[in-house]
Structure 1
Amino acid sequence: MAHIHLCWELGGGLGHAGRLKMLAQALLARGHRVSLGLRDLVATHALLADLDVPKLQAPVWLHSAAGLPPAANLAEVLFHCGYLEPAALRGMVAGWRALFTLLQPDLVVGDFAPTALLAARAMGLRSAAIGNGFSMPPPARPLPAFRDAPAARLAASEQRMLATANVMLNGATPYRHAANVFQGDLSLLCSWPELDYYRRATDGAQWLGPSFVSGGGIAPCWPAGEGARVYAYLKASHPAHGALLRALADEGCRVLAYIPEVAAGAAPPLISEQILYAEAPLDLSLTLAQADLCVCHAGEGTLAQSLLAGVPLLMLPTHAEQLLTARSVASSGAGYNAAPLAPDADWRAIVRQLLADDAYRAAARAFATRHASFSQRQMNETMAKQLECLLA
C-alpha cells in the first residue's frame, strides 16, 4: 500500500493535529503507511501518543517579520512566514524537500501547510490539502480579505506572494492564482457552509464537515445547585477570562471550566462555589449534552461539538481564524461574538441575554438538526477514499 505523509505547518492549537490524527487512523485501517510532520511535537504529544506512526518536526518559520502591518488576507499571513522574498523562503523549501527525499512518500497531505505543498509540487509529488474554510480559500478568485485594507495593497500582496512561491518551483508548473498555493492537487474542505466566512458557493464545494477528536476526556461533574450549567474552555492569556467567570458566578450559573494553565498548576482566576475547575480535558460529548451554554475562544473542535449538541455559544476569539468563525456563528444566530468588547465590559448582561433569549438556543438546535447525520468516522473514510483515488 501507499506511504502517505501528513503534515501541519501554520496555525496554533490542537485542531490541526487532531484532524490529522483522525485521518491517519482511517488510512492505517485501510492498510496504508503513515508518517506525520508536525509544527509542534511537544503540545501534541499527549493527543497523538496512541498513534503508532513516525512523528517528525516540520520545517517551520522561526523569525519575526518586523514592520509588517497586521495581516489582512492569507498572502499577508504568509509574509509573516517567509514569503516576502525568495531568499527568505528558500531554506524552508529546502527543508521540506530534504524531508520528502528521506521519507519517499507517495502522497503529501498538508493541513495549513503551503510550503510543504509547494515543495511537493516542485518535486513532482502528488499532494492534497485538508483544512477548514480559513486555510482553504476559494479557487480561482482573489484571496478574501478578513480585515479592512486598501484594495490596491491586498492585490499587491497577493501578487508578491504568488511570485515568491512560483520562483521556488524550479521549473515545475507555476501556480496561476494565489489561492492555488493552499490547495494541492486535491482540496478536502473540512467545514460546513454556515461556518465559512468566505461565503463560497455551496454548489461548487464538497462540504465534508469539521474534523475533531471526539471522545476521551474526563466525565463532567457540575457544581451543586439549580443554576444554568455553563461549560467554559478559556485560556488564561485572554484578558477577560477572569471577569467573565466572575459574571457567570454572579449570575448564578454552575460553571465547569477547563483552563489549561489552571490544570497545569496555576492559581485559579476566581474561587467560587459556583465554579469547578477540571484537572484535565473533559469528554465534550457528555459535557455539552448537559450544558445550557458553551463559552470558548471559537476553536473549531469545541465550537463544532457545541453546535452539534444544540448548545449556543459565547465566543471570545483570540486570532483571525477564530474571529472569522465567530462572526459566522453569530450571523447564524447560534452564538454571541464578544471580540469587539473590552475586558471590563458588562459581561453579566451578555450572559443574561444569552441564557434568557430562546432565539440563541433555537438557532443552535436548528444547526444540530441540519447536521444530525454527520459522522466523524464516515467523514474520514470519505477523505481516505478520495486520497486513494488521487494515488490511483
Structure 2
Amino acid sequence: MSHIHLCWELGGGLGHAGRLKMLAQGLLARGHRVTMSLRDLMATHAMLADLDILKLQAPVWLHDAVGLPPSANLAEILFNCGYLEPAALRGMVAGWRAMFGILAPDLVVADYAPTALLAARSMGLRSASVGNGFYSPPPGQSLPAWQQAPAERLASSEARMLATANAVLTEYGASPYQHAADVFLGDLPLLCTWPELDHCEPASRGAAEWLGPSFAAQGGIAPHWPEGEGRRVFAYLKASHASHGAVLNALVEEGCRVLAYVPEVAAGAAPPLVSDRVLYADAPVALPQALAQADLCVCHAGEATLAQSLLAGVPLLMLPSHTEQFLSARRVAMSGAGYNAALLTPASDWRATLRPLLNDASYREAARAFAARHQGFSQQWMNQALAVRLERLLA
C-alpha cells in the first residue's frame, strides 16, 4: 500500500491534530503506512498517544514580524509566517524538503500546512489538503477578506504572498501557482465542514463538496454534574479569555448547574469561581455524553465543540478568541442556534445574555433543526470518504 504523510503547520488548539488522528486511523485500517509531522508535539501527546505511528516536529516559523497591520486575509496571515520575502521562506521549505526526502512519502496531506504543500510541489510529490473553510479558500478566486481593509491593500498582499511562494518554486524548477488560493489547497482540496459552518459564503464555492467536519469525538472522562436542581450547562473555557469568570458567575446566578472544563484549572490553577453549582473537570470531558445531557454549551467556538453541540441539538453561547472562531460563531448565530458574544466584556450584563438562550425555545429549535439536517453523519463515514478520495488521487 502507500505511504501517506500528514502535516500540521499553522493554527492553534487540538482540532488540527484531532482531524489528522481520525484520518490516520482510517488510512491505517485500509492498510496504508502513515507518518505525521505536527506543529506542537507536547500539547498533542496525550491525544495521539494511542496512535502507533512516527510523529515528528514540523518545521515552523519562530520569528515575529514587526510593523504589520492586523491580518485581513490569508495572505497577510502568511506574512507573519515567513511569506514576506523568498529569503525568509527558503529555510522553511528546505526543512520540509529534507523531511520528505528522508520519509519518501507517496502523498502529502496538509491540515493548514501551506509550506508543506509548497515543498511537496517543489519535489513533484502529490498532495492534498484537509480543513475547514477558513484556510481552505475557494479555488481560482481572490482570497476572502476576514477584516475590513482597503481593496488595494488586500490585492497587493495577495500578489506579494503569491510572488514569494512562486519565487521559491522557480528556484527548484517547479511550476508556479496560478492563484493565491492554490498555496493552501494542494492537488486535491477536501473541504471538511458543512455549508452552515463554512467561513466563506457557500455561493462562492460553486460545485464544491462539503464533506462535513472531522474531529476526534472519542475519549474524555465521563460527565458528572453538580447536585441539585437547575439547567445543565457544559462550559469549555480558557482562562486566557477575559470574560470566562464573569460567564461562570452569571450561570450560577441564573440557577444553572455547570460542568466546566478549564484547561488551566485542570492543570492546577485556581478556579475563577468557587461554587457548589460549578464542578471543574480535571481532564477533557467526553463531549457526546456531556452534550446529550446539557441544555446549553458555552465555548470559544472551536470547530469540534461547535459541531458536536449542534449535532446534539444543543444551543451555544460563544466567546470567540480570534478571527477564525469569530467567523464560526457568526455563522452559528446566523442559523439561530446560538449567540455570538464577541463584543461583550467582563463588565457586560451576562445574565441578560444568558436568559434568552436558556428560556427562548427558538435557540434549541434551531439547534435541533441543524441536527436533523445532518442526522446520520458519523466520523466513521467521514474517514471512509476522505480515505477513498485520497486513494483515487494516489491511483
TM-score, length-scaled by structure 1: 0.99
CA distance in 2, matches of 1:243, 1:27: 44
SS of residue matched to 1:56: strand
SS of residue matched to 1:43: coil
Equivalent position of 1:75 in the other structure? 75
Any residues of structure 2 matched to 1:73-222 within 5 Å, and which?
Answer: 73-169=73-169, 170-201=172-203, 204-222=207-225
CA distance in 2, matches of 1:204, 1:382: 17
Aligned match of 2:376 in 335, 359, 373? 373
CA distance in 1, matches of 2:345, 2:115: 37
CA distance in 1, matches of 2:279, 2:67: 43
Q: Is the Cα contact below 8 Å between 1:19 and 1:212 reproduced in 2?
A: yes
CA distance in 2, matches of 1:190, 1:291: 26
CA distance in 1, matches of 2:106, 2:145: 35
Equivalent position of 1:357 in the other structure? 360
SS of residue matched to 1:298: coil
Equivalent position of 2:338 in the other structure? 335
The one-letter code matched in structure 1 to 2:292 is A
Equivalent position of 1:29 in the other structure? 29
What is the CA deviation profile of residues 327-383 of structure 1, one whole-angstrom value per residue up to 9, with x for unaligned ones? 110111111000011221100111112111111111100000000110100111111
Aligned match of 1:296 in 262, 285, 299? 299
What is the CA deviation profile of residues 127-171 of structure 1, one whole-angstrom value per residue up to 9, with x for unaligned ones? 000001111001111101010000000000000000000011132
What is the CA deviation profile of residues 238-277 of structure 1, one whole-angstrom value per residue up to 9, with x for unaligned ones? 0000111000001100000000010111111100111000
CA distance in 2, matches of 1:357, 1:160: 49
The one-letter code matched in structure 2 to 1:332 is S
Equivalent position of 1:38 in the other structure? 38
SS of residue matched to 1:69: coil
The answer to whether residue 263 in structure 2 is matched with residue 260 in structure 1 is: yes
The one-letter code matched in structure 2 to 1:290 is Q
CA distance in 1, matches of 2:62, 2:89: 12
Between the two proteins, the alignment pairs up a number of residues equal to 392
Any residues of structure 2 matched to 1:246-285 within 5 Å, and which?
Answer: 246-285=249-288
What is the CA deviation profile of residues 64-84 of structure 1, one whole-angstrom value per residue up to 9, with x for unaligned ones? 001111100000000000000
SS of residue matched to 1:255: strand
Q: Gaps (5+ residues) in structure 1?
A: none
The one-letter code matched in structure 1 to 2:370 is F
Shift of 1:197: 2.3
Q: Is the Cα contact below 8 Å between 1:126 and 1:185 reproduced in 2?
A: yes
The one-letter code matched in structure 1 to 2:237 is L
Q: Gaps (5+ residues) in structure 2?
A: none
CA distance in 2, matches of 1:217, 1:122: 41
Identity among equivalent pairs (%)? 73
The one-letter code matched in structure 2 to 1:139 is P
Shift of 1:200: 2.9
The answer to whether residue 87 in structure 2 is matched with residue 65 in structure 1 is: no
SS of residue matched to 1:225: coil
CA distance in 1, matches of 2:225, 2:85: 53
CA distance in 1, matches of 2:283, 2:198: 31
Any residues of structure 2 matched to 1:316-335 within 5 Å, and which?
Answer: 316-335=319-338
CA distance in 2, matches of 1:331, 1:110: 30
The answer to whether residue 230 in structure 2 is matched with residue 227 in structure 1 is: yes
Shift of 1:203: 5.3
Q: Is the Cα contact below 8 Å between 1:197 and 1:327 reproduced in 2?
A: no
CA distance in 2, matches of 1:41, 1:305: 25
SS of residue matched to 2:297: strand
The one-letter code matched in structure 2 to 1:313 is L
CA distance in 2, matches of 1:317, 1:340: 9
Any residues of structure 2 matched to 1:42-57 within 5 Å, and which?
Answer: 42-57=42-57
CA distance in 2, matches of 1:164, 1:304: 36
CA distance in 1, matches of 2:370, 2:335: 9
